[in-house]
Amino acid sequence: MKSHLIKLPLGRYHNLHSLRKLIIPSVLIFLFLAIITLYDYPLLHPNQQNRNSFSPSSSSSSSSSFNSSPSIYLVRECNISKGEWVPDQDAPYYTNMTCFVIQEHQNCMKYGRPNLEFLKWRWKPQGCELPRFDPVWFLNLARNKSLAFVGDSLARNHMQSLMCLLSKVAYPEDISNTTDQNFRHLVYSNYNFTITIFWSPFLIKAHEADSDGPNHTGLWNLYLDEVDSNWASRISKFDYIIMSSGNWFSRPSMFYEKGQIIGCHYCLVNNITDLTLRYSHRMALRTAFQAINKHADFKGKMILRTLSPSHFENGEWNKGGNCGRTKPFQSNETQLEGWEHEFYKTQVDEFRKAEKEAKQKGLQFMLMDATEAMLLRPDGHPSRYGHWAHENVTLYNDCVHWCLPGPIDMWNDLLLQMLSM
């Protein structure tokens, strides 16, 4: 057979027979390297999960962690809830122009906040690096799954942050069967991944008995031993439930158990014992956890996100308090105090009790301990930048919710790690 000559770059000539001798070994080497790379990829190498793990809270439980660069892992037993905020000049990873779900009162970029340095930080846990959120990796992990957020407006804030981070890759379709913005059902059809939000600020059955109340913030009836059926009756449909609670328990409330008044918080009614907001918060958490543990058909994972502190200074929320700081605290510059500290301890305490029971039933409870990280971010709230300064509106400075983009995007960095387990 006659060998044909072909011209290669730089003017050199080779026949096909000689060329095969060069190409075949090169192809074999390439395939070998590709196989090694795939073997080291966590999705294809399940034992990797045991070699590189982290603790999502102070618990000793561990999980694997992934991002778009499979060579980056968290250090074994890294306590992700402790750390510092460090500069990140690459942030933010979306803006108010690229994400359509940012609510007006959290749109700090739109309403003229003069200092945007609050965007240029990332959470650095002690002893390890927290990989950045990877929307492609998240959506592939969440394929054919369902996720529910249960709580108050901070739960919605969390959901909107997730949707903004995912907006680089996909937008969901709203398939809600109601116009109530507190109950939304969204689907990422290409991944068959659904997100649902349930408005349930107390987690339990609650009714506003007086819209004004003792201090003009309303008076609520709280049924401490009855879970809110709006979310609890549907939990069997979800693979993941992210639950959170906090600020609403500071409102004046009447407490009911077995249909009878057993006390209150700041109700100012004679002959009714003030059991304080601490009692209602603990009992509500206990009731919510029991509803999950006793649900015969729930087979998913429950994630409790711990308290997100507010940062009012120089006054309370309705007495001129504000949050005007422009950079994070260092961990030695502040500490959690008062009822927020007690709420946090209660959350962890009730979670541990429920987690123990859940393990006996084969369920998985997970703690997203973000409290310290958020305590260090007094600069991340909307303050007065949730509306135009010249608008003739009466609004309190918002030091409870978080700007988007902003510090709470870190919650979804944590969520990605937890779903990777």
| Residues 81, 374: Cα–Cα separation, whole Å | 10
Does 413 qualify as catalytic in the annotation?
no
Catalytic residue (one of 311, 401, 409, 413): 401
SS (H, E, C) the chain: CCCCEEECHHHCEEEHHHHHHHHHHHHHHHHHHHHHHHHCCCCCCCCHHHHCCEECCCCCCCECCCCCCCCCCCCCCEECCCEEEEECCCCCCCCCCCCCCCCHHHCCCCCCCCCCHHHCEEEEECCCCCCCCCHHHHHHHCCCCEEEEEECHHHHHHHHHHHHHHCCCCCCEECCCCCCCCEEEEEECCCCEEEEEEECCCCEEEEEEECCCCCCCCEEEEEEEEECHHHHCCHHHCCEEEECCCHHHHCCEEEEECCEEEEEECCCCCCCCECHHHHHHHHHHHHHHHHHHCCCCCCCEEEEECCCCCCCECCCCCCCCECCCCCCCCCCCCCCCHHHHHHHHHHHHHHHHHHHHHHHCCCEEEEECCHHHHHCCCCCCCECCCCCCCCCCCCCCECCCCCCCCCCHHHHHHHHHHHCC
Q: In this structure, what token pair is assigned to residue 26? A: 């090169």
Does 401 qualify as catalytic in the annotation?
yes
Catalytic residue (one of 398, 409, 413, 420): 398
Task: Specify whether the CB–CB gap between 167 and 138 falls below 8 A.
Answer: no
| Look-up of token digits 């309190």 | 396
Catalytic residue (one of 59, 63, 153, 167): 153
Q: In this structure, what token pair is assigned to residue 95? A: 């803006």
Q: So which residues are the catalytic ones?
A: 153, 398, 401
